[in-house]
Amino acid sequence: MIIFTETLPQEQETLLGLIDKKYHVNLCFFEESITALNAGLFSEATLLCVFIHSRVDSATLAQLPHLKAVVTRSTGTDHIDIETCKKHKIAVGNVPSYGQNTVAEYAFTLILTLARQVKPMVERLSRGEFCRDGLKGFDLFGKTIGVIGTGKIGSHVVSIARGFGMEVLCHAHHEDADLVKLSHVNYVPLETLLLQSDIVTLHIPANPSTLHLINKENILLMKPSAMLINTARGNVVEIEAIVEQLHLGNLQGGVGLDTFESEDIWIEEKYLKNDTLSAQELQKAMLAFSILRSSNVVLSPHNAYNTTEALERILAMSVENIHAFLENGTLITPVI
């Protein structure tokens, strides 16, 4: 049985149309995500197709005795226990390149929203106040943007930034040979990037090496006037570091977070009924909530991927992975 989690009715209809009938497999769709708390509902799954709010950890996997493969409709796989899957010979596949332009465009949506004071302007107009006082923004032209991570998304961010006439500093484990050749683009150590950038934007995966890559210590290197953008994964930025800097009057350029630590507590209604949350998780969620009302802070519900075109690519690639596994037991885009 193939079980799909976190699928809305429209997505279910699309998936039903994409799955080849020749395989004669049973398909089951759930709008909810899977966690250790409800994994018993999915115990018959031989292939599990999930999204980012599912938690396919060891406790969840222990309740899925027939599982042979996990296909996630995302690039990131931090919601899946890769090591446990490897141990039990469960294949894992992802969608590595559905939205390089999509997420990059959204990063600039956040940047422009903050740079041009869109949030306070809209709030003011909704109250019937029509004036420009306090709404002075700043140009992107000539500013320096620091791009952390220059994979498919980060590279597209660099292209957009050059279109705005920005100076670009990059930091990544591996330099992109094509980006190195470009004018106004330079790879630098992380500390240099933080010191010199007017805007810092993150485009890296979540793994042990990137946990709190931006933290209470190195965030002090950023200019008081700087802007911080995160459309990657929540735990690559320490939420306490952001709160502290805002309270000190820094990060004056604004903070745009499409993802942040403990965001699931906000996004998933079922978490309101979950009495297993740690005090630390609740504290992080409340810290994010505490900055929401700031005029120079924009939070969004992990929405960067959410366009018609990107969703079509996600579903199509996921189905290609499923077809390949049903056909020959392998995935087109395997993680392990």
Quick check: 282 pLDDT over 80? no
Catalytic residue among 32, 240, 244, 268: 268
Q: What is the pTM of this model?
A: 0.88
Q: What is the pLDDT of residues 59-78, one digit of tens each?
A: 999 999 999 999 999 998 99
Q: Position 147: which residue type?
A: V
Q: What integer is the mean pLDDT of 208-222?
A: 97
Provide the token pair at 243.
């709160």
Distance CA 143, CA 174 (A): 24
Query: 97-113 as b/e, with b when 16 or more CB fall inside 10 Å?
Result: ebbbbbbbbbbbbbbeb
Fold classification of 100-299 is: Rossmann fold (3.40.50)
pLDDT cut 90: percent of the chain above it: 85
Q: Is 66 known to be catalytic?
A: no
**Which one of 233, 238, 261, 263 is the catalytic residue?**
233
Cβ neighbours of residue 269 closer than 8 Å, sequence gap 6 or more? none
73 is catalytic: no
| Domain 100-299 in the same topology as domain 2-98+308-328 | yes
Is 244 labeled as catalytic in the residue annotation?
no
Which one is the CATH code of 2-98+308-328: 3.40.50.720, 3.30.56.10, 3.40.1710.10, 3.60.10.10? Answer: 3.40.50.720
Is residue 139 within 8 Å of residue 253, measured between CB atoms? no
For the chain, give every domain's residue range. Answer: 2-98+308-328, 100-299
Q: What is the pLDDT of residues 231-266, one digit of tens each?
A: 999 999 999 999 999 999 999 999 999 999 878 776
% of the chain residues with pLDDT over 70: 96
Q: Letter for the amino acid at 176? A: D
**Cα–Cα distance for residue pair 28/50, rounded to 1 Å:** 12
**How large is the average pLDDT for residues 289-305?**
89
Cα separation of 191 and 180, whole Å? Answer: 19
